[in-house]
Structures are given as structure tokens and as C-alpha cells.
Amino acid sequence: MMLTYPNLIPVLPELFMAFMIVLILIVDAFTSESKKGINLVLTLLTLAGCFVIQKVIDRGVTQLTFNNMFILDGIATGTKMFTYLFSFVAVLYVKRYVCDKQMLKGEFYAIFLFAVLGMMVMISADNMLVLYVGLELLSLALYGLIALQRDSVKATESAMKFFILGALASGMLLFGISFIYGGTGGYLQLEYILKAMLSQNDTNGALLVFGLVFIVAGLVFKLGLVPFHMWVPDVYEGSPLAVTTIIGSLTKIAAVVFIIRFLIGGLVLLNPYWSIMLLLLALLSLFFGNIIAIAQTNIKRLLGYSTVSHMGFVALGLVTVNVDGVSATLFYIVTYSLTALAGFGVLTMLSRDGFECENLDDLKGLSKTNPVYAGLLLLVMFSMAGIPPLVGFYAKLKILSALVASGYIPAAVFAVVMSLIGAFYYIRVVKVMYFDEPVKEIVPADTCVFSRTILLVNGALLVIIGIFPTMVMMYCNQLITG
Amino acid sequence: MMNYLLSLTIWTPIVFGLITLLINKNDCLARYFALLGSIIAFLFSLLIFFGFDSSATSMQFQEMWPWVGSLNINYHLGVDGISMPFVVLNNFITVLVILAGFKVIKHKVSLYNSMFLMMTGFISGSFCALDAILFYVFFEAMLIPMYLIIGVWGSSNRVYAAIKFFLYTLIGSLLMLVALIYLYFKSNGNFEILSYYKLPLSITAQTLIFIAFFMSFAVKVPMWPLHTWLPDAHPEAPTGGSMVLAAITLKIGGYGFLRFILPIVPDASRELAGLMVVLSLIAIVYIGLVAVVQKDMKKLVAYSSISHMGFVTLGCFLFANGTLNTWAVEGAITQMISHGFVSAAMFFCIGVMYDRVHSRNIADYGGVVNKMPVFAAFFMLFAMANSGLPGTSGFAGEFMVIMGAVETNFVAAILAGLTLILGAGYTLWMYKRVVFGDVVNSHVAEMDDVSKREFLILAILAIAVIVMGVCPNIFVAKMHASVEQLLTQVTLSKI
């Protein structure tokens, strides 16, 4: 028997990342406390390296490897590049915080990269098991990151909560996968699942639908849609800000690609079933996410509930099951990640040892003490509220136009009304910063010019992409179509 | 340069505003730089005014570039006789507003001036946009500076007023967005406002679109019963904020009726004209009565604004046999421009007194004429204009609307005409209590007459009020052809 080696080119960024994680762990073990900065440099190099490799190996065609279980197509390449870019920026935002809070620096960066690796695997998975492996790699890394502050009761509690609920969701997902496996006659490959569904009669229909319900439940848990959203605000609140920055901004892209592949790629024939489920969950998320966010005084919780509502918008794009809707979803999630990154970036950079900038009251009078940071957070809030000319407006406009085009006009009107409610709590944050008197002076902890410049650029991008959204929109469209 | 006049008018204040934002260490420089920006923008708008061809019915000074290709959104600008006067008015008022804040605003000076400049650009953009999404972007963007203006520099209850203003305006505009997206698909994927004029629409679709647009523009005007944000926002806003709110932002509502509702959904407009007339009359009569009992001068002028804007909506919906009449529509536009001058002047006058006494209560004043004779003379002129005295701008618009009403709806004409007496009543009664009589307290006794800066602002506004009162044709001639074109558009059924 002749051994055939899999084509490793499509998987090079993942291999490079895995190698670098091991290297970081080894370097960390052999460096003294004063020289731990090397871990940060290695992490940034890893992400930059992955970006370059990803660009180099992109041949403009779909590449498959590992018995077609791993796919590198347009959407995978594009979203991975966004993931590296945003991860790079996130590392710059949290580096000072990680030092201040005395989180284990070597482990932090290694686990963080594990999470990114999990996202990369999820994005490129073309087989349900690979998808599952990627998802679990991401989840396990996140459990670790949240619990990294061992002395913090809140962090430990939220890690436990995330772990238990995450395990439950994983169980449901696996259960659903096994039904699909049985219902399609033994397939886990997305392409074959689709073929099997096309060729067979309806005898296994009930089995497939039954499996689908569990799969959707498992998937929307990762996205944080109501009623599987319970972990979101608790985990956002309980996690150290550095970790909330990562969970709140980066992980969403992978989760959406994962859902696009799974539902639209593999289970598109069951769309009459899953789109109605997704529609219902999206509307519920818009409603509860926005309503409950109003009552929040902790900004991390507020952003947690707001994420729930944003994910409702994201799901609405998928409900349309057409190119416009899906590309609108991708545009939404990319721009949302960029916006959330800026928001959490500001909060992280304002936090320091002994002070976590997490309550609305902490932001009182920020425009007086820190006009630039207040201005950035103002842009973030208005963008999230969907006020033009900020980028959040186009994200919502694209979703709404896809909905109207598909005939979901009542859903569009409902989403619009919910946006209005959302606007209330976003402008409350602006109110606190601009209209209230400062209680205490908040001095940014991070004085690194590079990080601050990146933060400014991040904020400026919300306006620039808002005024010139075409390029990013076309890119997202291109990722979906080809 | 003439080809890009509209862009220059829109972007000059925005760019100056952004630069002003950066001059946060030198208040004096920020003030003068902002003033320079507003003057340049105003000069550009004057070039538009004088270069405007009154006989043409098409859009002028058009500019068009593709903007968001994937959604077929274009950066398409143009003005006709309906929108052009508002662009000039907007830039005119901004110069005065920046000047009005010179000595009064002492904290966050650069932010204050920057917000006004940016808002001016956004407002001009709304009036010039011929692409629906471009319009929407400018229309919504102006909420951000106005929210901050009310909330940061407002009075004690400013936070409530700012949030209420923001949410009220947003609720309407979001529904308008859905209507625009619907029209986008109905017109095979374009956002050109003018193309919607020819779009066939069923009466059900027209009615729903009417409601969506109505929610947006009626809040902005504001029409009864969607007016409640205004009496809260005005008293809390700083003087400049009140001037811009009353003089400009309310006009976008009226403009929206003329640019969007009437030509896009003419059949629904005809069907619902009766309702609109009733709502307008309620605004004119009931809100006029509410104004009478106000103790706060700013609130009184705010309610009077709602009442005056009632004439505007009345003028827009005076159909007879399915046809609008020219008098009424031109009267509505004239009334809007006049109200821009008069309300800005009234709010500025109240601001002048507030800066000295720190009270807006009518009861805290009396005998002001003894201490501020020059101011009292100006205030008298503006009070008369607010009452609709012939010879002032206030008369021209109201007279034209009532003339239009006489032709089409005599009851409405009678009611609106009688309310002019009410308007004169509450304005002059306030004037009497504040200005005449003996000096009532030590605060009034210490009042100084107007400074040179204040005199300049008052004089400019006075000239505007008188010129428009004596020669309203300066403006009416510019709009006539466009109004005729609009009326032709509205008579065509789309069903």
C-alpha cells in the first residue's frame, strides 16, 4: 500500500500557528519575568506571519485537503485575514492590561493563539467533525482565558458557567450531527450531505429535521441568540476586559462563517425548517437583547445584551438564504467586530491595576477628562445604533434591504423598531460621557503610542468605511459569490 | 468651481468643523476659525442663490458620482426652487449662530462651534440630496451634533430633552428608511428620488409609504400630536441650538412633505389631505392656545413655532378637486423661510435677556425698555413679525396660505385667519409683560443694552425680516417654476 501525504499548502497558516504556539510556550518557560515581553512580540509575529502566508497560498480557487475535510475557499481566506488583522489589533489593546492584572503572560498569549487556531479550523472546516474540533478548540481556549485570573471569583464563576453551558450546547450539536449522519446514510462531509439529501426520498425527512433542531440549537448557542444567550452577559461581565475584548469581537466572525457553511452549505435543502427557526430566534434576540440592555449599568453586560441583539440582525441576513442576505451578514459581522474591537479597546486601555472600567458611572464626564477616548466611544455607540454616516448604518441597511427583497417586510419593520430601542441605551452611554460631571479622573493606562494610534485608526475606520463602504461591501460579496 | 458649488457648500462647514474640533486649546482661534468657515459656506450658498435660474424647472447645479456601487447609491446633488432657499437660509443662520455663541459659550468652545458647523453641512446635504440614501445619511447625521448641543450646553433638564429629541426623531426616520428600501425594490434597484415620482404604486402601498414618511417628517415639523419633543428641547437647548432647531431643522420636515410625500404618493396625499388639514388646524389653534398660557418665554416661542409650522402643513395639503393650489404651496415655503428668520431672531432676543438675568420666566422681567431701548426696538420688530404684521416677513407666508385656503377650504381659511389674532395676542402680551412697565427688580435694573456683536446679529435679522416682508417676491420668484412643476407632478395619479 502506498502512503499518500495530504496537501499541506492550504493548511500552512494553521501549521505555522500551531508551531508558534509551542514555541511561545517553550520560550515562556525559559525566560525570566522581566523578559516576558518576547511573548507579545512572538504573538504579533505569529499573526502577521499567518496573514502573509494566507495571502501567499491564496490561489483564487478552492483548495481541499485531508480527504476534503479541510477547505480553503474565498470566504475562508477572506475571513481568516480579517481574523488575523483583528487579533493583531486586539493583542495591542490588551497587552498592557494583561501585564497590569498580572495574568500569566506566556500562557495568555499561547491560549489566545489556540483560540485563534480554533477559529481558523472552524472557518476552514468542510466536515462536521472538523467543524466540531475547531469549535471545541476555540471553546476550550476561551474557558482557559476567562479563568486565567484565578483569584477572581467572578472570572472563575463565569468560566464555569461558560464551560457548563458550552458543554451542553456541544452535546446538542453532536447529538444533532449524529442524526444527520444517520439520516443521510452515513455522511459528515457537507458536500455529500447535500448530495445525499438531493438523491434520497423523504423517508428520512423526520430524522433530518429532528437532527436539524439540535444542530440549530447548538449553533445559535455559539452565536448567543435568545433563548441560548444566557451565557453572553454573564461571561462578558465576569471575564477580564482583555478576554471580553477577544470574545466580544473576534469569535463572532468564525461563528458566522461556521453557520453559513453548515446551514447554507450543508443543510440548505432543509432551509424551510431552519430559516423559520432562525427568524423566530432572531426576532426574539432583537427584542430581549435590546429591552434587557436598557436596564444594565455595567457596560460589559450592556454590550453583552447588545451583542445578543446584533446577532439577531446577523441571523436575519441568513434567513433570506440568498447571496445578498448572506453577504450582508458577512459585512455586518465584519464591521460589527471592528466596532466592538474599538469599543472594548477603549475600555481596556482605560483600565489599570485595581481599576476595571466597566460601570457606566466610570465613564461619567469622560469627555472632560479624556476627550479623545470619549470621542472614540461616541463613534462606537452611534455606529452600533446604526446612525449614519457611521459604518453600522450600512450594515443594518444591507440586512434590511435583503429582508425587504425577500419579502420579510414585517420582520424588517420589527428590526427597525428594535433598533430604536437599542439607540436608547447607546445614547445613554454618550450621555454619561458628555453630559455628566466626572466623578474621578480616568487616565489611560496604556501610554504606548503605537497602540493608541491603532485605536485612533480603528475609530476613524468606523467613519471612513461608513462614508466609503463600497470596498468592504464588494469584498464581502466577492467572498460569498466566489 | 460653479459645477461643485453644492459640494463646496456642504463640505466647507464640515471640514471647518473637523478642524475646529482640533483647535481645542485656543478658544478664541476656534471661534474665529468657525466664523470664517460659516462665512465661506454662506458665500458659496449666495453664489447658488444668484446663479440660480428661476425659469428652469429641472434640478440645477447637479453633481453625480457613484457612491455605494453594490446598492446603487449615488452621490447625487441638485437644487430646485424649493430646496435652494433653504440652503441659503441654513448657511445664513449658521453665521449668526456662531456669532451669537462668541461670548456666551465658555466651555468646550471648539466642540460647540464644530458641532454647529458640521450640522450646517449635514442640513445643507439633506436639502441638496437627490439620492434617497444620501438624504437619509445627512438627515440622520444631524442628530448627533444636535444631541450633543442640547445635552452639553443646555439648561438643567437638558439630558431628558436631548434623549427625547433624539429618540423621537429617530423613530420616524427609521420607518422612512423601510419605505425607502421598499421604493428601491419597486423601482428596480435605485435610490433616485426623482425616479420615484414616476413610479406606479397601488393605493395601499402609497398609504403605507405615506405613513412611514409622515412619521418622519411630521415629527420633524413638528405636527400635533408628535410635537411634544419640541417644547422640551427648545427651553433646554442653548440659544444657538434653539435658533438652529427652529429656523432650520423644523424646515426639513416641511421640505420632506414637498420633496417626498406629495410627489411620490400623490393619491394617498389626496386621500389623507383632510386628515392633514385637521391636524394642521389643531396645531394652529390648539397649540396657539397652549402658547398663551406659557410662563417661560422660550416655551412660548417654541409653541408659537409649532403653530406657525401648522400653516406650512396646511399649505401643503390644501387640495381642491384633486389639485393643490400654487398660493398655498408657495405660501408654505415662504412661511418656512420667514419663520427661519423670525424664530431665530426671537430665540436670540430671549438669549440676550437670559445672558443678563439668567431667567426665561416672563414674570422675572418688566420694564426692559428702560434699560435696553435699542434691544426693545428690535424685539418689537420681531414680535410684530411673529404676529404676522404686514410689512414683515411673517405676514407674507401666512397671507399666501390663507389666500390659498380661501380658494379651496373656506372653513380652514377662517380658522387659520382667526388664529392670526391669537398669535398676535400671545406674542404681544409677552412683549408687553417683558418690555413695558416699570423696572421690576434689581436684575432688570442692571441690564445693559445690546453689545456691538448683538446689535450686528439683530440688525442683520431685522433687515432680513423687513426685506422679505416688503419684497417677498425675491424668494417667491425663485421658487415659482419649481412649485408649478411640483403641482403638475402631484396631479398625476399613480394607480
Residue of A394, A419, A435 with shortest CB distance to B151? A435
Where does the pLDDT of residue A57 fall: very low under 50, low under 70, confident under 90, or very high at 90 and above?
Answer: very high
> DSSP characters for B169-210?
HHHHHHHHHHHHHHHHHHTTS--BHHHHTT----HHHHHHHH
* H/E stretch holding B323: strand B323-324
Report d(CA A65, CA A52) in Å as an integer: 20
Q: How far is A437 from chain B (nearest CA, A)?
A: 10
CB contact under 8 A, B185 and A405: yes
pLDDT at B425 over 90: no
Q: Is the pLDDT of residue B287 over 80?
A: yes
Q: Which residues of B touch A416 (CB under 8 A)?
A: 174-175, 177-178
Q: Which residue of B has its CA nearest to A432?
A: B159
Q: What percent of chain B has pLDDT over 90?
A: 33
| Domain contains A452 | yes
pLDDT band at residue B168 using 50, 70 and 90 as cut-offs: confident
With contacts defined as CB-CB under 8 Å, which chain A residues touch B182? 404, 409
CA-based nearest distance A38→chain B, Å: 37
Cβ separation of A388 and B141 shorter than 8 Å?
yes
CB atoms near residue A132 (< 10 Å)? 19
Chain B 318-377, residues with CB within 8 Å of chain A CB atoms: none
Q: A444 or A327, which is more confident?
A: A327
Helices (H), A147-268: 153-183, 190-199, 205-223, 231-238, 241-245, 251-259
Residue A118's pLDDT is what? 95
Q: If pLDDT is split at 50, 70 and 90, which confidence band does A204 have?
A: low
Test B184 with A401 for CB contact under 8 angstroms.
Answer: yes
Mean pLDDT of B70-94: 91
User: What is the structure's pLDDT at B447?
Assistant: 83
Instruction: Return d(Cα B288, Cα B228) in angstroms, integer.
Output: 14
Confidence of residue B412 (pLDDT cuts 50, 70, 90): confident
CA-CA distance, B434 to A445, in Å (whole number)?
54
Count of structural domains, chain A: 1
* Residues of chain B contacting A412 with CB distance shorter than 8 Å: 178, 181
Q: Is-contact B482 B80, C-beta < 8 A?
A: yes
Q: B71 vs A401: CB contact, 8 Å cut-off?
A: yes
User: A104 pLDDT band (50/70/90 cuts)?
Assistant: low
| Res. A30: pLDDT tops 70 | yes
- When pLDDT is averaged across residues A255-263 and rounded to a whole number, the result is 88
A474 → closest Cβ in B69, B143, B171: B69
C-alpha cell at B336: 418656512
CB-nearest to B159 from A417, A420, A435 is A435
Task: Pick from B75-84, B399-408, B410-419 the range whose average pLDDT is largest.
Answer: B75-84
Q: What letters, b where the CB count within 10 A reaches 16 and e where it falls short, cover B152-188?
A: bbbeeebbbbbbbbbbbbbbbbbbbbbbbbbbbebbe
B175–A474 C-beta distance less than 8 A: no
C-beta of residue A463 within 8 angstroms of C-beta of residue A390: yes
Higher pLDDT, B265 or A189: B265
Q: How far is B190 from chain A (nearest CA, A)?
A: 12
Hey, which of A14-28, B104-118, B158-172 has the most confident mean pLDDT? A14-28
Using the predicted structure, report yes or no on whether residue A314 has a pLDDT greater than 90: yes
Which of chain A's residues have a Cβ under 8 Å away from the Cβ of B69? 470, 474
Nearest to B403 by CA among B325, B469, B335, B485: B325
Asked whether the beta carbons of B287 and B231 are under 8 A apart, the reply is: no
- A410 cis-preceded (ω within 30 degrees of 0): no
- Residue that wins the pLDDT comparison between B179 and B104: B179
Residue B397 has pLDDT above 80, yes or no: yes
Tell me which residue range forms the domain holding A82.
10-26+37-481
**Taking CB atoms and an 8 Å limit, are B182 and A398 in contact across chains?**
no
Residue A1 lies in a domain: no
Query: Higher model confidence: residue B463 or residue B171?
Result: B463
As given in the structure block, the three cell numbers for residue A238 are 465576569
The closest CB to that of A420, out of B67, B158, B170, belongs to: B170
Average pLDDT over residues B196-205: 90
Q: Which of A149-153, A166-170, A406-410 has the lowest mean pLDDT?
A: A149-153
**Interchain CB distance below 8 Å, B163 and A434:** no
Taking CA B156 as the corner, what is the angle to CA B151 and CA B158, rounded to the nearest 5 degrees? 25
pLDDT of residue A458: 94
**Nearest-by-CA chain A residue for B157:** A435
| DSSP H or E stretch at residue B50 | helix B27-51
pLDDT tens digits, A320-373: 988 889 999 999 999 999 999 999 999 988 887 777 888 888 888 888 888 899
pLDDT of residue B445: 82
A392 to chain B: nearest residue by CA? Answer: B137
The pLDDT score that the predictor gives to residue A203 is 58
What the block records as the C-alpha cell of A304 is: 453583552
Which candidate in B14, B21, B68, B236 is best for mutational testing of the A interface (most A CBs within 10 A)? B68
Place of cell 419579502: A407
Q: Is B358 a residue whose pLDDT tops 80? A: yes
Asked if B137 has any chain A CB less than 8 Å from its own CB, the reply is yes
CB contact under 8 A, B141 and A387: yes
What is the pLDDT at residue A180? 87
Count A/B contacts: CB-CB distance under 8 Å: 90
How many CA within 13 A on the CB side of residue B66? 7
Which residues of A fall within a CB distance of 8 Å from B181? Answer: 397, 400-401, 404, 412
Q: Is A106 a domain residue?
A: yes
Q: How far apart are CA B366 and CA A159, in angstroms?
A: 68
CB environment A16-38: b (16+ within 10 A), e (fewer): bbeebbeebbebbeeeeeeebee
Q: Is A448 helix (H, G, I), strand (E, B) or coil?
A: coil
Judged by a CB distance cut-off of 8 A, whether residue B14 touches chain A is: no
B414 touches chain A (CB under 8 A): no
> Does any domain span residue A223?
yes
A419, A428, A470 member nearest B68 (Cβ): A470
Q: Compute CA A250 distance to the chain's CA centroid, rounded to the nearest angstrom.
A: 4
Q: Is the Cβ of B140 closer than 8 Å to some Cβ of chain A?
A: yes
Q: Are A106 and A48 in contact (CB under 8 A)?
A: no
Cβ–Cβ gap B178/A404 under 8 Å: yes
Q: Nearest-CA neighbor of B438 among B365, B345, B338?
A: B365
Residue B78 is classified by DSSP as: E
Q: Does residue A19 lie in a domain region?
A: yes
Q: Which of A193-202, A292-301, A323-332, B295-304 has the lowest mean pLDDT?
A: A193-202
Of A83-92, B106-115, B151-160, give the range with the top mean pLDDT. Answer: A83-92
Decide if A394 and B68 are in contact by the 8 Å CB cutoff. Answer: yes
DSSP A37-87: HHHHHHHHHHHHHHHHHHHHH--SS-EEETTTTEEE-HHHHHHHHHHHHHH
Domain membership flag for residue A31: no
**Which of A414-428, B114-128, B243-257, B310-324 has maximum average pLDDT?**
B114-128
Cα B232 from Cα B157, distance rounded (Å):
9
Does residue A106 register a pLDDT over 80?
no
CB A6, CB A66: distance < 8 Å? yes
A→B contacts (Cβ < 8 Å), by residue, are: 367, 371, 378, 382, 387-389, 393-394, 397-398, 400-401, 404-405, 409, 412-413, 416-417, 419-420, 423-424, 427-428, 430-431, 434-435, 469-470, 473-474, 477
B157 touches chain A (CB under 8 A): no
Q: Is residue A32 part of a domain?
A: no
pLDDT at A19: 95
Chain A residue with the nearest C-alpha to that of B111: A371
Q: Distance between CA B19 and CA B32 in Å, rounded?
A: 12
Cβ contacts of A431 on chain B, cutoff 8 Å: 151, 159, 162-163
| Contact criterion met (CB < 8 Å) for A387 and B144 | yes
Q: How far is A449 from chain B (nearest CA, A)?
A: 19
Q: Which one is predicted more confidently, A442 or A213?
A: A213
CA–CA dist B86, A177 (Å, integer): 62
Determine whether the interchain pair B181/A412 forms a contact, defined as Cβ–Cβ distance below 8 Å: yes
Each residue's pLDDT tens digit, A451-465: 899 999 999 999 999
Interstrand relation of B73-79 and B60-68 (parallel, antiparallel or unpaired) = antiparallel
Residue of B nearest to A367 (CA): B108
Query: Residue A101: pLDDT above 80?
Result: no
In this complex, the residue of A409, A420, A435 whose CB is nearest that of residue B158 is A435
Query: Regarding predicted confidence, which is higher, B407 or A28?
Result: A28
Judge whether residue A1 has pLDDT over 70.
Answer: no
